[in-house]
Structure 1
Amino acid sequence: MEKEDLLKLKDEELLIEKKKYRKAQLFNAVAIGFLVGILIFGFGAWALSSDKKPGFLIPMIFPIIFIYRLVKTPNKNTALEEVLRERNLI
C-alpha cells in the first residue's frame, strides 16, 4: 500500500495490516528455513554418496533461487512501518 493510503486508515485498521505483515514475515522465515534444510540434506546426501555425479547438484539450484527471491524482494511494508512509528503503534 502507498503511504497516502495508509495515512487514511484508522489505528485499528493499521494494527490489522501490521498483523498481516507479521504473518508474511513468519511465512518467509519458515519457507527460507525449509529450503535451507533441503539444501543441507541434498548436499549432505551428495557428499556422503559413493557416486558423486555433479549433475545431482543441478536440482539444488532451485532452492537457492527461491531463497534469493524471498530475501531480496523489495520491502513493500516500509511505508506501513513509518506510519506505525508516526502514530506510536509499534
Structure 2
Amino acid sequence: MTREELTTLSNEELLAEKKKLKNSKIFHATLIGFLIGILLFGFGAWILSPEKQAGFLIPMIFPIWFVYKMLKTPKKDSDLEEVLRERGLD
C-alpha cells in the first residue's frame, strides 16, 4: 500500500495492518534463517567433500537471491510504521 492509501485508513484498519506486518516479519525472519541454514549446510558439505566441483555451488545462488529480496522489502513496510507513529498507535 502507498502512504496515501494508508493515511485514509481508520485506526482499526491500521491496527489490523500492523498485525499483518508483525506476522509477516516473523515469517520472513524464519524463512531467512531457514535459507541461511541451507546455505551453511551446502557450503559445509562442499568444503568437506573430497571432490570440489564448482557446479555444486550454482544451486546456492537461489537461497542467496531469496534472502536478498526479503531483506530489501522492509522499505515498503516503513510507510505503515511511519503512519502508525504519527497517529500514536505504536
Q: Normalising by structure 2, what TM-score?
A: 0.89
Compare 33-42 and 56-65 and name the one that shifted more: 56-65
Higher helix share goes to which structure? 2
**How many corresponding residue pairs?**
90
1:5 paired residue number: 5
Q: What is the aligned-residue identity percentage?
A: 61
| Per-residue deviation, residues 19-50 of structure 1 (Å, max 9, x unmatched) | 01111111111111111000000011111111
Distance 1:73 1:5 in 2: 18
- Structure 2 unaligned blocks of 5 or more: none
1:15 corresponds in structure 2 to: 15
Structure 1: 5+ residue runs without aligned partners?
A: none
* Greater displacement, 38-47 / 63-72: 63-72
Q: Give the whole-Å Cα distance in 1 for the aligned partners of 2:51 and 2:75.
A: 43
TM-score after normalising by structure 1: 0.89
